Amino acid sequence: MPHLQLRGLPIGIYAILLALIASMGGFIFGFDTGQISDILLMTDFKRRFANGCSIDTTSFADAGSCTFSNVRSGLIVALLSIGTLIGAVCGAPIADFLGRRNAMSVECVVFVIGVLVQITTFTKWYQFAIGRLIAGLGVGALSAAVPMYQAETAPPQIRGTLTATYQLFITFGILVAYCISIGTRSMNNSGSWRTVVGIGILWALVLGFGIQLMPESPRWSARHGDYPSARAAIAKVRGIPEDHPLVDAEVEEIENSLEAEKRFEAERLQIDQAELANGKSTKLKSRGAIYAWMECFQGFTKNSSRIGYRTLLGMSLQSLQQLTGANYFFYYGATIFQSVGISDSFVTQIILGAVNFFCTFGGLYIMEKYGRRLPLILGGIWQSGWLFVFAAAGTAKNPTENEGIGKLMIVSACMFIWGYAMTWARGIWILIGETFPTRSRAKQGALSTAANWFWNFLLAFFTPFIVSAIDFRYGFVFAACNLLGAVVVWFFLYESAGLSLENVDIMYRDPACHPWTSRQWCPPGYASRRDAEMELHEKAGMTPAQFEEKTQNQDGRSSTGGTTVRDSASVHQQNDIKKAA
């Protein structure tokens, strides 16, 4: 099988393809997010749907005076988020029941239905809004399924990069929506906005059919007892034969993790039955669907599975990603830059979209090189600073009367987007895919993503009202939220870069590990994460000496300074210790 080499380990072409095709779910998300800001300013759209205007009585010359009330514009923008919130919660059982791939195909059909409802609207603004709600059901379910599928299928060495393609495609979708909008805005008919909305069907078709050509998540297959499919998927993603030692090692790790979950479930069931028999428990003990969701909020202490801890952490991080203020610019950017005196706000939107897209490439490197915690902490501080500049400048002087202030606000917005694109935009979606255990990953991921969409709705709907009341001082609120995000990451987030999903679960369960010391944590039986990486390379056919030489060439690390070259016997001794643990 053809494959690439990354850090001395094989990476198959399927690993790249599945990341790109699945990330079309992010493209759909971004395209739907980016289009509405410009559509609200299109002449034909305002003639049809703005307050006090009518397609029959309002000419194109008079359409400039047509405006949307805060309620109407808020609902048109925000009903997508209500749909995505519901879709994210429903996405978990769908992905668990149908499998990750089939779920994504079904969700693409739902999105297409929503698009058709929108483009067949003629004069009723609420039909357009309902169409966005239906499309949101598909977008929300995809936002839960895609990062989970990518994290479960990607090799650990490039999991961060491949999972981050979801965010990259979100930014690409936003940019493409801006570019198409600027190309259609001059149409003196409904094609100006119907073209932008309708072309979304194409992206759904690419994902819906393309994902069926990719392997199913090996962890989903293994959880349903289909180990041959799991083995085949790992081999495809690695680009190596199914009987390769590296495939054996990954399958064994998944199998051991699932067996540990079964033992934990059996022990807990025995305890529950004993408590019920003795009349000591009045809690719901049914193992039905409701209890399965309740499990996501059990375990917060150091000596537990910390499932509840991780659920609240995921929900908090997704909420704080919305509270960074990024969608303040993406949803209402064209309106914002009109208010600072920019003559062509469509062009300014494209500039912001381009900064967002191209800076995301830098984030691909940062998250792999420096892990998850440090970029999120520094990103939160950076974003807070520039939002403070944005808000202070707009508050100090009227930007429509001072060209210098207007330019400063645009620059500060671009610098904010630069930091956001490289840290919080992509880092949170990576963490949602890799923080939770296999057994409850779908449900915890859905709850976390639903929190994102809940705040997305609140911001989309209430922003016009808030801006009317406090104008650019709104930026101070977002600046404070960015600082809060940095604090939450420091005190609660564990460093998961470079670990398999199974070892991430072990790390969160380790009572001796703390978030601020988690970068030094290593799997049981190893002296460091580097030692664990060395063993993996040995299974791929690399000797310890070759591993040392390769890593020294890549990042300047050498066998001196605390890390010694282990011989083959030492490697096998560590294997025995790990198995015993």
Listing DSSP states for 447-476 in one string gives HHHHHHHHHHHHHHHHHHHHHHHHGGGHHH
How much is the pLDDT for 6? 62
- Between 308 and 545, where is the model more confident? 308
Taking the C-alpha atoms of residue 91 and residue 526, their distance in angstroms, rounded to an integer, is: 37
How much is the pLDDT for 380? 96
Partners of residue 5 on adjacent β-strands: 10
Tokens of 566: 């282990």
Q: Are the C-beta atoms of 93 and 76 separated by less than 8 Å?
A: no
Q: Are the C-beta atoms of 25 and 207 separated by less than 8 Å?
A: yes
Mean pLDDT score across all residues of the chain: 81
Would you give the DSSP letter of residue 355?
H
How much is the pLDDT for 570? 36
Average pLDDT value for residue range 363-372: 82
Pairing of strands 3-6, 9-12: antiparallel
Write phi, then psi, for 289 (nearest 5 degrees). Answer: -65, -40
Average pLDDT value for residue range 387-404: 84
Q: Which of 71-75, 92-96, 163-167, 249-253 has the lowest mean pLDDT?
A: 163-167
- Residue 573: pLDDT over 50: no
Place of tokens 């895609």: 146
How much is the pLDDT for 150? 87
Q: Are the C-beta atoms of 92 and 141 separated by less than 8 Å?
A: no
pLDDT per residue as tens digits for the range 121-179: 988 899 999 999 999 999 999 988 888 898 888 887 777 777 778 878 988 998 899 88
| CA neighbor of 331 nearest in space, from 203, 457, 477, 423 | 457
pLDDT band at residue 579 under the 50/70/90 scheme: very low
C-beta pairs of 281-289 under 8 Å, 24+ apart in sequence? 289/93
pLDDT band at residue 279 under the 50/70/90 scheme: low
- Residue 577: pLDDT over 50: no
Average pLDDT value for residue range 447-473: 85
Q: Which uninterrupted H or E stretch holds 3? A: strand 3-6
Tokens of 358: 């191209």
- Between 300 and 345, where is the model more confident? 300
Taking the C-alpha atoms of residue 172 and residue 372, their distance in angstroms, rounded to an integer, is: 22
Tokens of 87: 């879709």
Taking the C-alpha atoms of residue 419 and residue 417, their distance in angstroms, rounded to an integer, is: 5
Domains of the chain, first to last: 3-218+307-492 (1.20.1250.20), 522-580 (no CATH)
Find the angle CA(529)-CA(532)-CA(537) to the nearest 5 degrees: 125
pLDDT band at residue 548 under the 50/70/90 scheme: low
Partners of residue 11 on adjacent β-strands: 4
- Residue 568: pLDDT over 60: no
How much is the pLDDT for 553? 56
Q: How far is CA 187 from CA 39, 40, 190, 195, 208, in A?
A: 12, 15, 8, 10, 31
pLDDT band at residue 575 under the 50/70/90 scheme: very low
Taking the C-alpha atoms of residue 518 and residue 431, their distance in angstroms, rounded to an integer, is: 15
The CA radius of gyration of the chain, in Å to the nearest whole number, is 25
Taking the C-alpha atoms of residue 273 and residue 281, their distance in angstroms, rounded to an integer, is: 9
How much is the pLDDT for 337? 64
Q: Are the C-beta atoms of 148 and 100 separated by less than 8 Å?
A: yes
- Residue 473: pLDDT over 50: yes
How much is the pLDDT for 138? 94
Tokens of 292: 């399965």
- Residue 563: pLDDT over 50: no
Sequence-ordered strand ranges (E) for 335-388: none
How much is the pLDDT for 478? 93
Taking the C-alpha atoms of residue 463 and residue 37, their distance in angstroms, rounded to an integer, is: 13
- Residue 71: pLDDT over 90: no
| Burial (Cβ within 10 Å: 0-12, 13-18, ≥19) of residue 262 | exposed
Tokens of 302: 């150091």
Taking the C-alpha atoms of residue 406 and residue 397, their distance in angstroms, rounded to an integer, is: 9
Q: Are the C-beta atoms of 481 and 325 separated by less than 8 Å?
A: yes
Taking the C-alpha atoms of residue 486 and residue 416, their distance in angstroms, rounded to an integer, is: 15
Taking the C-alpha atoms of residue 572 and residue 569, their distance in angstroms, rounded to an integer, is: 5
- Between 2 and 162, where is the model more confident? 162
How much is the pLDDT for 347? 73
Write phi, then psi, for 565 (nearest 5 degrees). Answer: -75, 125
Q: Which of 122-126, 261-265, 367-371, 435-439 has the lowest mean pLDDT?
A: 261-265
Place of tokens 């759209």: 45
Partners of residue 6 on adjacent β-strands: 9
Taking the C-alpha atoms of residue 133 and residue 455, their distance in angstroms, rounded to an integer, is: 16
